[in-house]
Chain A
Amino acid sequence: MRLLVCVKRVPAPGARINITADEQDVDAAHLGFTTSPHEECALEEAVQIVENHGGEVTVLTLGPAEAEEQLRYAASVGAHHFVLLPVTEVDWDPQRTASALTKAIQDLEEGNEPFDLVLFGNESADSGGFQVGVRVAQALSRPMVNGIKGIEIGEGTVTARREIDGGFEVYEMPTPAILGIKEGINLPRYPTMKGRLASKKAEVEVNEPTSEQGGQTRIKLHRPEEKVSETVILGKGPEAAPAVVDLLEELGVL
């Protein structure tokens, strides 16, 4: 099987996110970077699928030149081919991103069979536009379902599970298909030492993306007003139990 996974490089924040002085981006001076969590799971799923069914995994990212790190990470956990679409502007809007990814996928498929599956993350951890995968799917005329937490590969088909309140829905699609993956579908592996060493030698193809600005433009980022509320300390240790239960009674949950 041929699989493609689209990933995004995002900052890895802790308890607080700061913004740059020009209000255009997250201040990542003291942050590490990672693959957006849903996409990390999409990558793991793709690697597991080719481990079980044979084939190859290609990883595609649009981002700053440093996003090569995320491609090398993908190499270290078992992906095979790597394509970087380097951009210099802070944030490409979703239409523009989708259009560049569509073109890149068409280029990768030229002279080949289409990818059996293209996997996206359900949404990116940072900008969270909830649409790039859908736009690519429509441009390529392929079926797409988001929110997937389980995949079974059939003969020219894929069965996908989507979590809903109290259970899950099942979708059955012909391939080639596109799926938006949610964290929880698997627990991504850690790279092995051998994988890390091999990833240093992985070849990364770099293609300049060309696509036009869409209709959504960032003006600035800011932090929501934080509710300044004094925390009421109900007590220390187990002696606080009566005060806790008083609160539960007051709120009507007991």
Chain B
Amino acid sequence: MSVLVLCDHDRGSLAEASLEALTFGRRLANDLGVACGGVLIGEGADNASTSLASYGADSVYLVEHSLLTDYGPSAWGESLVQLVNKVNPTAVLACGTDRGNEVIAHLAASLDAPFVANCLTADTANPSTWLMTRIQWGGSLLEESELSTEQVKIFTVAHHGIEAEQSESSNSGQQESFTPELDESVTQTIVADRVVLTQGITLSTSPVVVGGGRGVGSAEAFAPLEELAEELNGVVGCSRAVTNNGWRPHSDQVGQTGTRIAPQIYIANGISGAIQHWVGAMAAKNILAINIDPEANMVAKAGYAVIGDLHQVVPAVLEEVRRRKS
């Protein structure tokens, strides 16, 4: 028996989120007294395998096939199904990212097994019914849920739900190749092309995010926020109200239906802090709210706040930043 952790990588570059899942999987395997196996699917997988052992993988399955040229939900899902049938693990998990949740859903659908998405804890005292704590509403509510099955237990771990931590013991991370039997039909959903729009820092990885909400007032009024973001080597984000008004593209939206951010500091300008937005911003290490309303939800939840009109405060901050830099 074992715990298998699907680790996401993009053409050989390991997704940081996978290390959170691996940390969770290693602790779960310890509790159950079984081995922890990492799974990497497709081309470039061996490049991504080096850090898996240091986060607790006793073994690493490299799933290879000529049809696995790039990511594809059916191809990855079917590969995982076949590996699970071979290895017969106690549990299979991944991080609850877009890809993690998608591939794990395919696995569960194929096996007609339950799948509990975005978990924070797993109580495994009863072997046939695990008690899971999972997030709802993007993290503003928690659900206690039973995962009852005699089959393999399948779930994902909420992204940013736990911190990735290296293993104290030395795990071998011994590599093992696995070649699934795939037919052409899986290629229907393999990535056919990729388009790169921005290189470098993005909203989800930026250490500084300068956010704007309804209080900014117009598309043009984002200019000082853009300048501040540039001075701090950060990026601009926004609330749902802003994208609904057409002031910024949806790719800038922070929130439950936008991007989850986890910067060193999030500067939230004129953002009231509705649940929809808050759950996308709550993983920020520090939050500075700049708001004219001292009662705003964002001000109450932030570690730091400036009470005032962002149209005066942001230019003043910008000037002070430039003065100290020069």
A contacts, CB < 8 Å to B: 13-17, 19, 26, 37-38, 93-95, 98, 123, 125-131, 134-135, 137-139, 143-147, 149, 162-174, 182-184, 187, 214-224, 229, 231-245, 247-249, 251-254
Known: A231-B303, A248-B321. A145 touches B232 (CB 8 A): no
Binds A, one of B22-30, B57-65, B310-318: B310-318
- In the complex, the answer to whether A184 meets B243 with C-beta atoms within 8 Å is yes
Closest Cβ of chain B: how far from A13's Cβ, in Å?
5
Measured between beta carbons, the chain A residues less than 8 angstroms from B301 are 231
Closest Cβ of chain B: how far from A153's Cβ, in Å?
16
Which of A162, A172, A222, A248 meets B141, CB within 8 Å? A222
Compute how far the CA of A163 lies from the CA of B250 in the bound complex, rounded to whole angstroms: 11
Cross-chain pairs A/B with CB under 8 angstroms, 5 sampled:
A95-B112, A168-B197, A170-B194, A171-B190, A215-B149
Known: A131-B109, A244-B288. A231 touches B304 (CB 8 A): yes
Which of A14, A171, A223, A253 meets B264, CB within 8 Å? A253
- In the complex, the answer to whether A38 meets B257 with C-beta atoms within 8 Å is yes
Closest Cβ of chain A: how far from B126's Cβ, in Å?
13
Q: Which 5 A-B pairs have the closest CB atoms?
A: A184-B250, A215-B114, A238-B316, A237-B308, A241-B316
Closest Cβ of chain B: how far from A119's Cβ, in Å?
16
Task: Apart from A134-B109, A215-B113, A216-B114, list 5 A-B contacts with CB within 8 A.
Answer: A129-B115, A163-B251, A222-B144, A232-B305, A253-B265
Measured between beta carbons, the chain A residues less than 8 angstroms from B317 are 241, 244-245
B106 within 8 A of A: yes
Measured between beta carbons, the chain A residues less than 8 angstroms from B300 are 231
8 Å CB contacts to A: which residues of B268-291? 272-276, 278, 286, 288-289
B172 within 8 A of A: no
B108 within 8 A of A: yes
- In the complex, the answer to whether B142 meets A222 with C-beta atoms within 8 Å is yes
Binds A, one of B32-40, B84-92, B200-208, B214-222: B200-208
Measured between beta carbons, the chain B residues less than 8 angstroms from A216 are 114-116, 145-148
Closest Cβ of chain A: how far from B301's Cβ, in Å?
8
Measured between beta carbons, the chain A residues less than 8 angstroms from B188 are 143, 173-174
- In the complex, the answer to whether A145 meets B257 with C-beta atoms within 8 Å is no
Measured between beta carbons, the chain B residues less than 8 angstroms from A37 are 257
Known: A215-B149, A223-B142. A146 touches B98 (CB 8 A): yes
Compute how far the CA of A171 lies from the CA of B98 in the bound complex, rounded to whole angstroms: 15
Binds A, one of B46-54, B130-138, B173-181: B130-138
For B, the interface residue count at a CB cutoff of 8 angstroms equals 101
- In the complex, the answer to whether B189 meets A236 with C-beta atoms within 8 Å is no
B302 within 8 A of A: yes
B198 within 8 A of A: yes
Nearest residue (CB) in A for B321 is: A245
B244 within 8 A of A: yes
Nearest residue (CB) in A for B273 is: A15
Closest Cβ of chain A: how far from B249's Cβ, in Å?
8
- In the complex, the answer to whether A224 meets B142 with C-beta atoms within 8 Å is yes
- In the complex, the answer to whether B109 meets A237 with C-beta atoms within 8 Å is no
B117 within 8 A of A: yes
Compute how far the CA of A173 lies from the CA of B135 in the bound complex, rounded to whole angstroms: 32
Nearest residue (CB) in B for A177 is: B188
Closest Cβ of chain B: how far from A195's Cβ, in Å?
19
B44 within 8 A of A: no
Measured between beta carbons, the chain A residues less than 8 angstroms from B112 are 95
8 Å CB contacts to A: which residues of B66-82? 71, 73-74
Closest Cβ of chain A: how far from B93's Cβ, in Å?
13
Measured between beta carbons, the chain A residues less than 8 angstroms from B139 are 224
Compute how far the CA of A174 lies from the CA of B188 in the bound complex, rounded to whole angstroms: 7
- In the complex, the answer to whether B136 meets A248 with C-beta atoms within 8 Å is no
B246 within 8 A of A: yes
- In the complex, the answer to whether A229 meets B264 with C-beta atoms within 8 Å is no
Measured between beta carbons, the chain A residues less than 8 angstroms from B189 are 143-145, 171, 173
Known: A17-B140, A131-B105, A221-B142. A165 touches B202 (CB 8 A): yes
Compute how far the CA of A234 lies from the CA of B147 in the bound complex, rounded to whole angstroms: 47
- In the complex, the answer to whether A128 meets B275 with C-beta atoms within 8 Å is no
Compute how far the CA of A169 lies from the CA of B70 in the bound complex, rounded to whole angstroms: 10
- In the complex, the answer to whether A241 meets B313 with C-beta atoms within 8 Å is yes
- In the complex, the answer to whether B275 meets A13 with C-beta atoms within 8 Å is yes
Known: A166-B198, A170-B194. A223 touches B304 (CB 8 A): no
- In the complex, the answer to whether B136 meets A126 with C-beta atoms within 8 Å is yes
